Structure 1
Amino acid sequence: MTRRILVFREISADQLDSLRADFEVDYLPHVTDADDPAFMDALSRAHGLVGASLKITPALLDQAPQLEAIASISVGYDNYPVDELTRRGILLCNTPDVLTETTADTGFLLIMSTARRAIELAELIKQGKWTESIGKSHFGTDVHGKTLGMVGMGRIGAAIARRGALGFGMKILYAKASPKPALDAELGAQHRELDQLLEEADIVCVTVPLTEETEKLIGAAEFARMKAGAIFVNVARGKVVDEAAMIAALKDGTLHAAGLDVFEKEPLPADSPLPHMANVVALPHIGSATHETRTAMAQRAIDNIRLALSGQRPLSPVNADDLNDG
């Protein structure tokens, strides 16, 4: 029997052709709602899923009696009920490694553009308001030599820290991660408890995954602990931060500025004040959004689903060991 795959994220023509050579493929790259009739119809016949950005619920899994594996085109897998997938014997895969450096570039872009007020000052020129030499009211703050506090020190966190330490001579602190002796030696990084890090860092950058433990990890109390003039950057998940508390801290000056690639609700609601705040740099979740990286992520997902449906271990499984234990 030829296996059937539902692809619900855009992939290249060559990648689609390679899948069609071995599988029956339902290609729905522009689906934004799992209740879409075409998606539900294809899901009912699918042995494998390849895609991202749709919330997969137990109720949806009930409509997929033949499903054996899911290859998410993402590192994060908070859109998937991992325990439920494991219980049903469904293998979940993700795409670590291939987007690490690109996402770290985005993180450091936010650090630089927020500290130096790049977007705000570029708008000054666009609006024809640059009529005299820039004075103190438009000065930014240096990045080199400052203290960078990483909340999370996985692959992406370490890559951002490496840019800061080796490229900008920054002191690196990290929390919400186990001690990393190799990084301590390489970068001079120092492990801290979260409260200590918040009190010491000039720039706080969040890269932890979204879990029950990290949801709203950074709230009003945490913002209040940050140094006067601190900059906050989030390239993790929007729900790791209490967004209302962050907005309040930005408005009252508790927090100097924020660089954000992720939000509690995406796309950002039209009534959100964040895009209109001069001390905020807001990006539309572009962490891995380059041609090279998105192509590589899709290819990793394709390789994962191909291996999974042939009974082999995928390159980057999430719950394979738990399935084997069961």
Structure 2
Amino acid sequence: MKKVLIMLAVPRCQFEQVLPEWELVYPSNEFFTHDELMTKAADVDAIVTVYGNKLSNEVIDAAPKLKMIANFGAGYDNIDVEYATKKGIVVTNSPDPVTEPTAELAMGLMIATARRMGEMNTMLKNKEALKWGVMRNLSTTLVGKQLGIVGMGAIGKALARRAVASGMQIVYHNRKQVDAATEQQLGARYVPLDELLKSSDVVSLNVPLTAVTKRMIGERELALMKPSAYLINTARGPVVDEAALVTALQNKEIAGAGLDVFENEPIIPDALRELPNVVLMPHLGTATHETRGEMSLLVAENIRCFFNGETPPNRIN
């Protein structure tokens, strides 16, 4: 009987359905500790990692039978893929289920930030002094505004569809320009990053965390943005220089930010918490009941395919 270790208590029934002959090493609490992983990895054939939770090379070394690491999440910066590859271990991720919910949250952050929903909600719930009136508490509409999408992958395209439906114009920057048919369908125009930053009313970051994208938005890039513009980040926290962002917000170099991810999660700088023009979420881009189940199903399918001699649908090395 083959054995799979599942690092965190993600939905289990999908694994039982797809891998009925497998032994599931599943945490009785929320997650396995590092020491528990070191012990339990000794005889497993596969490990299910979860984004945001590091799988150390030490644990990999403690698993001599390990043939596969199946990541629960699209981003896989929690795994040393190069090290796994050197050891002959296949690595997969689970990108498809995260697309729509992440784009949905990015759109929600855009609306909440521009329309000052977070700020007004906080004031009303805290019973702070808030004057009502026709010309008070004004905000910004997204209709007719330009959205600059940095990273036109699946999530970027899903966000573009929502933004177009809301009456926005789309420019984008990507490693490679997307095909003409997709550009035409979305009404999207490719521009260099600096032009996107200078001209957009909202900038949404939808890139993976890599050596190239780490802190790609820093002091220089924020200074290029309009004072009336908003920054939305549902990608990874380290894509943005958080200290530079705090300074830009405090100095009103940009109008506000909607953030689902942070540089040192779960630590959030007090300065970000205190700024009224910032909407914060605790990394909830994919956090729906439906998405979690779909992710477990896809992870289990990747494992089933690989050990049946087939090519896993989401192999990344």
Alignment gaps of 5+ in structure 2: none
**Aligned residues between the structures:** 314
The alpha carbon displacement at 1:131 in A equals 5.5
- Structure 2 counterpart of 1:284, which letter? P
Partner of 1:177: 175
Q: C-alpha separation between the residues in 2 aligned to 1:303 and 1:272?
A: 42
SS at match of 1:292: helix
Q: C-alpha separation between the residues in 2 aligned to 1:100 and 1:313?
A: 22
Partner of 1:4: 3
Aligned partners of 2:15 and 2:296 also within 8 Å: no
- Structure 1 counterpart of 2:17, which letter? S
Alignment of 1:303-314 (within 5 A): 303-314=301-312
The alpha carbon displacement at 1:204 in A equals 0.3
The alpha carbon displacement at 1:60 in A equals 2.6
Distance change >3 Å, CA 312–CA 20, structure 1 → 2 = closer
State TM-score, norm by structure 2: 0.94
Aligned partners of 1:206 and 1:233 also within 8 Å: yes
Alignment of 1:237-276 (within 5 A): 237-269=236-268, 271-276=269-274
Q: C-alpha separation between the residues in 2 aligned to 1:311 and 1:154?
A: 29
Alignment gaps of 5+ in structure 1: 320-326
Q: Is residue 292 of structure 1 aligned with residue 290 of structure 2?
A: yes
Q: Is residue 301 of structure 1 aligned with residue 299 of structure 2?
A: yes
The alpha carbon displacement at 1:205 in A equals 0.3
SS at match of 1:186: helix
CA RMSD of aligned residues (A): 1.7
Partner of 2:227: 228
Q: Is residue 163 of structure 1 aligned with residue 150 of structure 2?
A: no
The alpha carbon displacement at 1:182 in A equals 2.1
Partner of 2:40: 42
Partner of 1:91: 90
Identity %: 37
Partner of 2:200: 201
Give CA deviations for 1:247-274 in whole Å, capped at 9, x if unaligned: 00000000110000000111124x5321
SS at match of 2:69: strand
Q: C-alpha separation between the residues in 2 aligned to 1:301 and 1:16?
A: 8
Q: C-alpha separation between the residues in 1 aligned to 2:251 and 2:192?
A: 26
Distance change >3 Å, CA 54–CA 44, structure 1 → 2 = farther
State TM-score, norm by structure 1: 0.91
Q: C-alpha separation between the residues in 1 aligned to 2:244 and 2:190?
A: 26
Aligned partners of 1:19 and 1:25 also within 8 Å: no
Q: Is residue 30 of structure 1 aligned with residue 30 of structure 2?
A: yes
SS at match of 1:25: strand
Q: C-alpha separation between the residues in 1 aligned to 2:32 and 2:199?
A: 42
The alpha carbon displacement at 1:12 in A equals 3.1
Aligned partners of 2:202 and 2:229 also within 8 Å: yes
Aligned partners of 2:169 and 2:187 also within 8 Å: yes
Aligned partners of 1:101 and 1:156 also within 8 Å: yes
The alpha carbon displacement at 1:305 in A equals 1.2
Aligned partners of 1:31 and 1:39 also within 8 Å: no
Partner of 1:114: 113
Q: Which moved more, 1:90-99 or 1:122-131?
A: 122-131
Distance change >3 Å, CA 19–CA 190, structure 1 → 2 = closer
Partner of 1:189: 188
Q: C-alpha separation between the residues in 2 aligned to 1:173 and 1:20?
A: 44
Distance change >3 Å, CA 182–CA 295, structure 1 → 2 = same
Alignment of 1:132-147 (within 5 A): 132-134=131-133, 136=135, 138-147=137-146
Partner of 1:153: 152
Partner of 1:103: 102
Partner of 1:316: 314
SS at match of 2:144: coil
Q: C-alpha separation between the residues in 2 aligned to 1:244 and 1:10?
A: 34
The alpha carbon displacement at 1:135 in A equals 5.9
SS at match of 2:247: helix
Aligned partners of 1:47 and 1:66 also within 8 Å: yes
SS at match of 1:99: helix
Aligned partners of 2:49 and 2:55 also within 8 Å: no
Q: Which moved more, 1:251-260 or 1:39-48?
A: 39-48
- Structure 1 counterpart of 2:22, which letter? F
Q: C-alpha separation between the residues in 2 aligned to 1:280 and 1:207?
A: 18
The alpha carbon displacement at 1:242 in A equals 0.4
Give CA deviations for 1:222-261 in whole Å, capped at 9, x if unaligned: 0000012110000100000100000000000001100000
Partner of 1:324: none
Aligned partners of 1:229 and 1:256 also within 8 Å: yes
The alpha carbon displacement at 1:84 in A equals 1.6
Give CA deviations for 1:154-178 in whole Å, capped at 9, x if unaligned: 000111011111x112110101331
Distance change >3 Å, CA 153–CA 137, structure 1 → 2 = same
